[in-house]
Structure 1
Amino acid sequence: MLPHNNYPIGNGALCAVLSLVIRGFMMKLSLRMPVLLLVFLFTSGFVVATEIAFDPQEIPPLNERALLAHQQGDYRQAARLYQQLLPMVAQHFGEQSRERALILSSLADTQLSLRQYLQAEEYYQAALVILQAIADGRGQAIVLNGLAASLYLRRQYGKAEPLFKQALELLEQLPAPDVQNRLLVLDNLASLYKTIRRNNLAEEYQSRANLLRQVTQGPGQPADSQSR
């Protein structure tokens, strides 16, 4: 859930940088031979291509290290590892691959956690372009939620609102329900409207979130809304 005026509110609500889902990805790599990665060095106005060998098998453990660093709150280390991953993933999977979009999105999450909002938004936008091109609705929704959270934290409420709504619409159109992310976006919309004092809409989205929790958890199970 988003904070009210950048501070946690009600029932221990977490700020967006903590409630964002941290995303890793699993990859099966068939290529075992080292790959030559071109690194362009700018020296005295000239571009010099230098070949650096790397093994694609290095990508999954490096991604796991980055994910673990983020989970442990070492956001600077996570950012360094994701930066290291970017050219490797682009070389192996392609510049417009879903894998590269996921790394960009994860890098954006680390920047958001570091309160580097403009950098986070730049990475989210880059990831969004790829995910739109490959028609990954769930991926788009997750990135839009992150982008909207960054705008919210910069008090750009008018820009954040339509992005949260777009994220929710994409999630509701998925053939398989994604309850976790729907709840996250609903809670974020409720917090947004509470912040801008549109209480009727805040109550509407919070009610929708509470109902979804009840439906998915079933009777007799404690609601997790009190722990957010």
Structure 2
Amino acid sequence: MLELKAINAGYGNVQVLRNLSLTAKPGQVTCVMGRNGAGKTTMLRTIMGQVQAQAGSITLNNTPLHGLPAHEVPRHGIGYVPQGRRLFGELTVAQNIEIGLMTRHKTAKTRDYVLSLFPRLRERLAQRSSTLSGGEQQMLAIARALCLEPAVLLLDEPTEGLQPSMITLIRETLLTLKATGVATILVEQRVDAVLSMANQIAFVSNGTVAETLENTNLTPATPQFQTYVGI
């Protein structure tokens, strides 16, 4: 279980996160929603050590992650798919996947499992990643993160700009991962995508989690979507 408790973080003198607390449980998808500038991406970057927490704690199964250098966090089993994918564009699909495997010394067995989730990537292993379509690049970014065999997967706006068939594939992949016990934190603005896969929805406002709802009888007309997201 990943737990954030009373996190303060920001950039220089600009504080973005204010006493933010969040829990992501194994086998569940926690969706984080909020307006632009609310602090969603900063929260993910703080978990990954790219932004240092100024106060509070971040733990994975009671192991502290706060204070670790950024390159150490993935080795504890945190996979991260940032907005914009951040692939190594000049490297092939196979090479990008290999970099993911190297992070936690995973083997061909992990590689085969990941490629079974994204069969199209197997057809493009020798292709330079910068030449892939947007949807294929998103597949590769998720595949590279899954090569860590993560306990927790962080995704920042994974469906942005994608066609419906790709969004469906991402949703099916996350549901598969949920069944294997992976805890997922999904930053997303599409209510239709959220409602189809999230166990709980955390609404971020002004750098803190203002409200968390279990996804039982939520609909697009639920008032919090308008209050916190403006939908």
Larger RCO of the pair (alpha carbons < 8 Å, separation 6+): 2
Structure whose residues are more often strand by fraction: 2
Structure whose residues are more often helix by fraction: 1
TM-score by length of 2: 0.31
